[in-house]
Amino acid sequence: MPPFDPDRLPAGTTGVVTVDLAALAGNWRALAALVAPAECAAVVKADAYGLGAAEVVPALAKAGCRTFFVATAQEAAQIRTLAPSATIYVLDGLLPGSAEALHAINARPVLSSLEQVKEWAASTTEFPSPLRAGVRGRENPIGRGGIFCALQLETGLNRLGLGEAEIRALASDTDLLGRLDIGLIMSHLACADDPAHPMNSKQLARFRELSALLPAARRSLAASDGLMLGKDYHFDLVRPGYALYGGQAFRGGKTPVTPVVQVHANVLQVHDMPAGEKVGYSATWGCNGPRRIATVAAGYADGVFRHLSSASATIGGHVVIRGQRCEIAGRVSMDLITVDVTSVEGEPVQRGDWAELIGPHITIEEVGSRAGTIGYEVLTRLGRRFHRVYLGEADMAGER
């Protein structure tokens, strides 16, 4: 990812989220190559993990991605406008009475119960979709309507999925099966970040066993970490999200992706303070000697977790200014953090400098672990107030 360049920002920019669409596309290509001949889809729920689906989805489609997963029907409607011919799966499945909205945009629910399966099958005759003309038979020649869905099987995560009794009931109901076009049979791993965890092979075996009860269809088990567990886990399609955005959650080695996101915020003021002064709300952080404190224009409203606060005896979050690490001093407030820059060497830190919150020195994983959470939450909480810069091939770059 190219170094942060503050030169062409609009005057008054307090903070910047930089998203490298070329790196994102490169990550998708790298994962697609790793799992071939399996298909590599992209999970773009929650506004592409907070990075902006409006920019991320066209970049992935241009790289060759044809299948997208979102959580909700509303998200699917947005993705449909961005990728008119893509296959879109809705992970939350079918909410009561929501089939028509999915048919209207040719989106496929990931069905997780027999009740959902029945409601969907009934809807395929109620709401025939003009969008599905030509789709019939391409993926499932024995299907009846050409209106596809996915089936989610419960293999151990115990979150969403058809249990064994429901799967057996469906398998023996030929009338119901005959009204379904199953585009995908899938399940989700609970412990894929840890390759040594016994749950992985247990869920793999369970997925094979349960999917074998149903008519043959394409199958999918792995997300970002699952695809790192090896070929056995790839099946016909993998569904990474986090890794596409540069995430490295897998503990068994490096996922072949590069960072996509950087976050920087502006230094508004620098104070030289004598010993004994306190910094920030509730006066939790005291100067145990002369200290230089920089106030930076980023707070919890911008996605800086309040759990990155520090008191005198504890260490909270870090930022990097002039290439050097500095600790957050005191409480994170809504719009501001205060940072101890006393030991920064060279030119003194001054108004107008930029602080790296996420970037070459500070990964999303580090921020997550310092805040007692995970990089996924760091990404999805990035605030909407910061200026956004999208880097990429010339025709993809832009600002908003």
Positions that interact with ligand PLP (CB under 6 A): 43, 45, 91, 188, 223-224, 239-243
CB of 240 to ligand PLP, least distance (A): 4
CB of 278 to ligand PLP, least distance (A): 41
Q: Which residue is nearest to ligand PLP (CB)?
A: 241
Candidates 49, 231, 278, 281; catalytic one: 281
CB of 377 to ligand PLP, least distance (A): 12
Cβ proximity to ligand PLP: between 241 and 316 the closer is: 241
Cβ proximity to ligand PLP: between 188 and 318 the closer is: 188
CB of 249 to ligand PLP, least distance (A): 7
Cβ proximity to ligand PLP: between 223 and 293 the closer is: 223
Catalytic residue check, 49: no
Three-state secondary structure string covering the chain: CCCCCHHHCCCCCCEEEEEEHHHHHHHHHHHHHHHCCCEECEECHHHHHCCCHHHHHHHHHHHCCCEEEECCHHHHHHHHHHCCCCEEEECCCCCCCCHHHHHHCCCEEEECCHHHHHHHHHHHHHCCCHHHCCCCCCCCCCCCCCCEEEEEECCCCCCCCECHHHHHHHHCCHHHHHCCEEEEEECCCCCCCCCCCHHHHHHHHHHHHHHCCCCCCCEECCCCCHHHHCHHHCCCEECCCHHHHCCCCCCCCCCCCCCCEEEEEEEEEEEEECCCCEECHHHCEECCCCEEEEEECCCHHHCCCHHHCECCCCCCCEEEECCEEEEECECCCCCCEEEECCCCCCCCCCCCCEEEEECCCCCHHHHHHHCCCCHHHHHHCCCCCCEEEEECCCCCCEEC
Cβ proximity to ligand PLP: between 117 and 186 the closer is: 186
CB of 309 to ligand PLP, least distance (A): 28
CB of 236 to ligand PLP, least distance (A): 14
Cβ proximity to ligand PLP: between 251 and 351 the closer is: 251
> Quick one: which of 222, 298, 290 has its CA closest to 263?
298
State residue 20 phi and psi, 5-degree precision: -95, 100
Cβ proximity to ligand PLP: between 180 and 227 the closer is: 227
- What sign does the dihedral 218-45-110-161 (CA atoms) show? positive
CB of 242 to ligand PLP, least distance (A): 3
Cβ proximity to ligand PLP: between 28 and 285 the closer is: 28
Catalytic residue check, 242: no
Candidates 45, 89, 300, 390; catalytic one: 45
Residues marked as catalytic: 45, 281
